[in-house]
Amino acid sequence: MRYRELGKTGLQVSEIGLGAEWLERHNAEEVKAVIDCCESYGINLLDCWMSEPNVRSNIGKALEGKREKWIIQGHFGSTWQNGQYVRTREMDKVKAAFQDLLTRLRTEYIDLGMIHFVDEEAEFHCIVEGEFLAYVKEQKEKGIIRHIGISTHNPRVAKLAALSGEIEMILFSINPAFDLLPASEDLNTYFEDTYEESLKGIDPERAELYRICEQQGVGITVMKGYAGGRLFSAQTSPFGAALTPVQCIHYALTRPGVASVLTGCDTPEHVRAAVAYETAAEEEKDYASVLAKAPHHAYSGQCTYCGHCAPCPAEIDIAMVNKLYDLAIMQKEVPAAVRAHYEGLSANAEDCVGCGGCEERCPFDVSVVERMEKARELFR
């Protein structure tokens, strides 16, 4: 298992994590089997947003005696009322549900205290300007949570969070299909039956969000990496072509700012399908060729940092130069950290000989040589 630093939190998280939602349908023994399997492969990040009491208790039992091995994302605002999940901002219910989470998980602290499911900009402002965030910050001051995060599906909300100075990491929905969709405050639009009107290229707000997170040191953990399994079938995929779990994971992990992909697992077999990424060959990770040959795709001319342009005769890491260029052009002046990273490369755009071999290999017809020229001028 490889590990990545989660923004500026100082936490080293496994690049494959466990999204525990599916464990709701299992008993304590089955939950323990999944968590033990994750641990055996080096997974150390677990998200528990669910408010259902039994799954919380079963996870707590499975973690007993090895709490320190895990980094837990626990949510504020996910409550259990009258036998069902209710997202709420009513502080008495928020506080009771969070205490229940601590009790059932048998822990005295939560590593990442998540402000749960904020998809509306107006609601975000109410939260950060009101008693909700004040309560969350109080828990951090007491050491009950170590870092403050937020979960959202809306890139506009995520951008507000990343720039707020209050939020240290974001749980965000990322996959090749969602990246084509414009921002929305209606989660249902992410599961529409047709994407035809949206297949126009990577949504600029999403691309900007990932770069902002990279710049600001706000780490991203990923939910919905498989789009609910829709991407595994040509019949349900908006591209008309099937991707594998490994390809979906690789796509998400190549976005700037991303530290870990939380995969939904309810059996050890699902865990093994996800961690297969760690030993997969480059050909198995290759989402770009699949998307480029798919009946429907909209990535033409856009660098997805997939690395197909390699090898370069000048040994330039072209994908990295492109990523740093995209980060740099967001500012009036090139950020010092981005410049230092660029200048620290063993070869950069200055070394490009303009041979064009990279363009022949690029599945999305990116004008790589032109981008190298622009990078050369920008960083010069």
pTM confidence score: 0.84
Tell me what pLDDT residue 192 has. 56
Q: Is the CB of residue 239 less than 8 Å from the CB of residue 295?
A: yes
Residue ranges of E strands in the chain: 3-5, 12-14, 16-19, 45-48, 71-76, 78-81, 84-87, 110-115, 145-152, 169-173, 219-223, 258-264
DSSP string, 146-167: EEEEEEES-HHHHHHHHHSSS-
The yes-or-no verdict on residue 296 having pLDDT over 80 is: no
Q: How confident is the model at residue 256 (pLDDT cuts 50, 70, 90)?
A: very high
Nearest to 245 by CA among 170, 175, 319, 152: 175
Q: Where is average pLDDT lowest: 22-31, 84-93, 176-185? A: 176-185
Strands 12-14 and 3-5: antiparallel
The Cα–Cα gap between 258 and 235 comes to 29
Q: Could you tell me which residues come within 8 angstroms of residue 200 by beta carbon, excluding any fewer than 6 positions away?
A: 180, 298
Amino acid making up residue 267: T
Read off the pLDDT of each residue in 85-111 and give the average, rounded to a whole number: 97
SS3 (DSSP) at 277: helix
Q: Could you tell me which residues come within 8 angstroms of residue 359 by beta carbon, excluding any fewer than 6 positions away?
A: 309, 365, 366, 367, 368, 369
The label of the residue with tokens 């297949």 reads: 199
The yes-or-no verdict on residue 252 having pLDDT over 70 is: yes
